[in-house]
Structure 1
Amino acid sequence: MKRFSLLTILLLLSAFICLGAGTALGSNGNIDSSSLQVNLTNQNPDSARPGETVELTVSVQNVGNNDLKDITVTVNPEYPFTKLSGESLEKGISYLNARQDDDEGGVLKFKLMTDSNASAGTYDIDIVTTSKSGSGSSSTTYTTTQTVHLDVRGKEYAQIVTIDKANIDIAKEENLDFIITNTGTSPLKNMVVSWKDPEGVILPVYSDNTKYIKYLDAGESVNVTYTVMADVNADPGLYTLDINLSLEDYDSNEQTIRTTAGVFVGGETDFDVAFSESDAGEISLSVANVGNNIAYSVKVSVPKQDNYKVSGSSSTIVGNLEKGDYTIASFDVASAQAVETEGSTGRLGTAKASAEGGNLTAASVEGNPLKVQIEYTDAKGERITVDKEVELEMTSSSAAAGGPGASRSNSGLSSYLPYIVLIVLAGGVFVYRKKIQEKILARKEKKSGDKKPGNKNMDVRLQETEK
């Protein structure tokens, strides 16, 4: 009896222990009436690209002891992922058997859109599943959330945003800067920049046309500088530069970006102005185009200034000047200092001279360069003004004929000078002969009144004198 009672007690204890163990396993999940496993089995492409779609393959497996039904899988995207138009974020599975193996279960696919400005990195997405087990009033609903990780590959793209020069002068070394910006969201590496003018007018000097950039982070810019020169015989105009930019992408594949830019060749020029000659108050200036560009519609002017005054027109249009050509421009220029000095005397004749302008003298032009202004139209159609100063050189003869009034009186007098000299010489000869005749007559009268014997020799000398 005691043995039976002891055996019965041991059996009862064993039953309670097994029941407690089963309850404990069910509580920690090792043995569960319902358990879903959700895994991201594939991402296509392996790294999402900004502005492109990404497809997610999700596996759903029932590893619990109870069959499940009405299973719903929902993807909750967050930035940089959004719902793709026409694609559902929620999909369902009607039934899953209990205790499924790895090759069993359901497979669902979802498509998402990646933001075009997304930066490279890893982002989290939550996948929520709901399921039911049992039936009727004993039915139980289960909800689980699984977080998966998606890789995003940045956009590799660069562009040449700016070329710092729109104009290159002919036959002159100039710097040409290309500003290259990484407008993508991923760093760029091993970039190669090159350019070419198909017509061969613009060429790099001191280096070739290729530059290298080892690394350029997203959003950053870099300057690539070339020293260039345009052909001295080039025609002014707009020329095309073909620009190539190659880079390595995320997978170390080479990409090439091709673009074009326009650069104007030609522009301003320069002039040399020199004093040529002065005659009767008129000065002549030599104007030469010493630059490398043609000058259109050239106008030479003598502007208002303190030391000089222009009578008549102060400007003259000389037309177009090719590079290396020159022309002569003449102006009636007087000394403003002489005008003031003569005008202060108050004499009538001097006042008239002051109104016409004072004579240019060596003293009045010394240290007082004449200001000259040259206006022209360049090859781009822009009107350009160049200011120059010219040293005047006056000789004694040109200074004497410096003023307009003096030039007219001196020129008139000089035209009659030969006649005046002849008249003076003729008068002098006439007076001289008259005096000689008077002396001869006087001697004859004296001879006739005082003639005596023995004066034969004197008579002979008088006859010789008359001869």
Structure 2
Amino acid sequence: MKKEMKSIGILCVMMIVCAAVSLAAISSSVDIDVSLINQNPDPAEPGKYVEVKWKVENAGSSNTENVIFEVLPKFPFSLDPGESATQKIGSIWGRQIGDNGVIVTYRFKVDENAVEGQNEIEIRYSLDNGVSWQKPGKFYINIRTHDAILNIKKVSYSPDPMPPGKKAILSIELENMADSLLKDIKISLNLITVLQTATSITYNELSFSTFGTTNQQVIKNIGAGKTKTVEFTLIPDPDAASDVYKIPITIEYSDELGTNYSKSEVISVIVGDEPILEPLIASTNIYKKGQVGEIDISFVNKGTTDVKLLDVELKESDYVKVISSANVYLGNIDSDDYEIAEFKVYVNDLDDSRVPLIINYNYLDPNNNRYEEQETLYIDVYSNKEAKKYGLDG
């Protein structure tokens, strides 16, 4: 029994030695080299597919059979259900290199939460039909979002609208919609545009000037999913017309891989001021109670902005009855100008010596903001004796 056990032990040792000698013989005559030759697209994009190709070459002098290639996918890479991680290559001849190398192709799904940059993917191969495995080294797949998007999330300014000739703060909130850091961010207001032809260069200046800073602001970086705000102090030209103005913006930035981006956007701001429209009694020929006469009401535009579509109504009351039309349309009034609304009224014979005139009026500013206002103006009336005394009874 002891002799049999001894014989079995010797046989096992001999088998192990033979296998080692055989593997050494294969290793000495077979020289497998695996290289990643292509990824498509490059870079790959989170949430999409990437096709990866490896080349398997045998730089040794001997053939090798039963070659198996296997990928070991891990986050952020995965194979579709049903797709095998192993591919049987079979035989590779000695000196099968270069254009004669074996191409192995896999199609991976890239996870939506993949991090930008170089992401490792592991492979291994077997020369003995899967009994033993070897890893040739590390391989990396380049991942980057399709666009490192830096979005203008919000534009605001104060005061709103911007008054001509006065300072206003323009705030631009930027949002990093990429999944990695964006850096060296430059935001420029293009307040001067250049039109170049074959024969001339024309400079077009917008009706704004920066105050306290230049037309460019710089942000060092914005983290993934984060926001930051830059501010510019602007002064619209004193003679800038009330209107909506478009301001071109250029944004330049880089991602963590050193790729540079540049995008052009347009923001809009409203220039204008609150209208100052003042109604006044321009003239009247009514001086006594119980009298019919005319009243001219002047609407003076004392503001820097024009008004338009002015409509005026004189309300009847216990004091006056409107003989003419109670509504008068005056239309547009330029800045520092006036229009007159004419009314014919009867003044009732009441005890008061001051007659109130209730006026409703509405209009639009140049940016079509609607205003509705009411004012009460007064005319003085006299008794017959007082009118004669003041020479108003003629």
Structure-2-length-normalised TM-score: 0.66
Query: Counterparts of 2:338 and 2:18 in 1: how far apart (Å)?
Result: 108
* 1:175 corresponds to: 169
Cα deviation, residue 377, structure 1: 3.0
Query: Counterparts of 2:362 and 2:68 in 1: how far apart (Å)?
Result: 84
Maintained 8 Å contact 1:68/1:95: yes
1:293 counterpart = 2:293: no
Cα deviation, residue 226, structure 1: 2.2
Maintained 8 Å contact 1:275/1:390: no
Cα 1:127–1:286 shift into 2, 3 Å: same
Output the amino acid matched with 1:177: S
Maintained 8 Å contact 2:32/2:59: no
Maintained 8 Å contact 2:251/2:264: yes
Output the amino acid matched with 2:322: S
Maintained 8 Å contact 2:162/2:272: yes
Matched residue of 1:239: which SS? strand
1:223 counterpart = 2:220: no
Cα 1:322–1:40 shift into 2, 3 Å: farther
What runs of 5+ residues in structure 2 fail to find an aligned partner? 194-204, 288-293
- Worse overlay, 181-190 or 292-301: 292-301
* 2:105 corresponds to: 110
Query: Counterparts of 1:383 and 1:252 in 2: how far apart (Å)?
Result: 48
Query: Counterparts of 2:162 and 2:124 in 1: how far apart (Å)?
Result: 64
Output the amino acid matched with 1:246: E
Cα deviation, residue 322, structure 1: 0.5
Cα deviation, residue 97, structure 1: 7.1
1:195 is aligned, of 186, 189, 200, to: 189
Output the amino acid matched with 1:361: S
Cα deviation, residue 325, structure 1: 0.5
1:57 is aligned, of 51, 54, 77, to: 54
| Greater per-residue strand proportion | 2
* 2:90 corresponds to: 94
Output the amino acid matched with 1:192: K
Larger-gyration structure (1/2): 1
1:316 is aligned, of 318, 323, 328, to: 328
Cα 1:277–1:143 shift into 2, 3 Å: farther
- Which whole-Å deviations, capped at 9, do the CAs of 1:214-264 have from their partners, x for residues lacking one? 111122222222232322323444433221111123343543222233445
**Aligned pairs for 1:338-357 within 5 A:** 356=348
Cα 1:374–1:189 shift into 2, 3 Å: same
1:272 counterpart = 2:278: yes
State the Cα RMSD in Å.
5.2
Query: Counterparts of 1:16 and 1:112 in 2: how far apart (Å)?
Result: 49
1:150 counterpart = 2:161: no
Query: Counterparts of 1:289 and 1:28 in 2: how far apart (Å)?
Result: 104
Cα 1:38–1:231 shift into 2, 3 Å: farther
Maintained 8 Å contact 1:62/1:68: no
Query: Counterparts of 1:113 and 1:359 in 2: how far apart (Å)?
Result: 96
Structure with larger RCO (C-alpha < 8 A, sep 6+)? 2
Output the amino acid matched with 1:68: E
* 1:385 corresponds to: 371
Output the amino acid matched with 1:94: G
Aligned length: 355
Matched residue of 1:392: which SS? strand
What runs of 5+ residues in structure 1 fail to find an aligned partner? 1-8, 134-140, 335-352, 416-467
| Greater per-residue helix proportion | 1
* 1:212 corresponds to: 218
